[in-house]
């Protein structure tokens, strides 16, 4: 019997947040969507305008006996700039902020400990501003956003290349 759990993260454009998790053994599914806002069932257009309060986010369903939440949180940090409170890379606005949305007290504990460790690591000269928040309703994004890196490979690669994300990851995390 598998122990299926969920993890939810905001890390800027959700297109760039699916592939890094999707390829790990134990990860069953990564869904692009919206969370944290005040509009019920928001559309991409509503979220993109920045008025809905939602974050672009991913919801990860995983087998906790094959991959730990600690591992997933570590992977998350290595996809983002945790010191940027205005968005991520080329994507600016509140909808592109970073956040870890915990599903239970254990996830909260792990996320907070991980953030403290990162903040004290000396890796960044600015404060780590990624918020750790209780999970709210997660609304899956429209179908054309799901698995975008697979469905629209050239568009995904072009968007990712111009974003500056990979340069940051290569400089800071590798």
By annotation, the residues acting in catalysis are 13
- Count CB-CB contacts under 10 A for residue 125: 6
Contacts of 42 (CB under 8 A, 6+ apart): 34, 52, 54, 139
Contacts of 20 (CB under 8 A, 6+ apart): 75, 78, 79
> What gap in Å lies between CA 98 and CA 12, rounded to an integer?
6
Give yes or no for a contact between 83 and 26, defined as CB atoms under 8 angstroms apart: no
Say whether 149 sits in a helix, a strand or coil. Answer: helix
């Amino acid at each position: 019997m598998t122990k299926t759990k969920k993890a939810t993260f905001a890390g800027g454009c959700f297109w760039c947040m699916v592939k890094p998790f999707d390829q790990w053994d134990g990860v069953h599914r990564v869904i692009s969507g919206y969370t944290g806002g005040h509009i019920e069932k928001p559309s991409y257009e509503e979220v993109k305008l920045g008025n809905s309060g939602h974050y672009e986010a991913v919801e990860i369903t995983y087998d906790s006996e094959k991959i730990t939440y600690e591992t997933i949180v570590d992977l998350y940090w290595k996809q983002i700039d945790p010191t940027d409170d205005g968005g991520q890379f080329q994507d600016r606005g509140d909808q592109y902020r970073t956040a870890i949305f915990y599903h239970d007290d254990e996830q909260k504990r792990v996320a907070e400990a991980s953030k403290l460790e990162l903040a004290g690591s000396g890796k960044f000269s600015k404060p780590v501003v990624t918020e750790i928040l209780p999970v709210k309703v997660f609304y899956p994004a429209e179908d054309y956003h799901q698995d975008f890196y697979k469905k629209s490979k050239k568009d995904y690669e072009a968007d990712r290349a111009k974003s500056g994300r990979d340069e940051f990851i290569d400089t800071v995390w590798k």
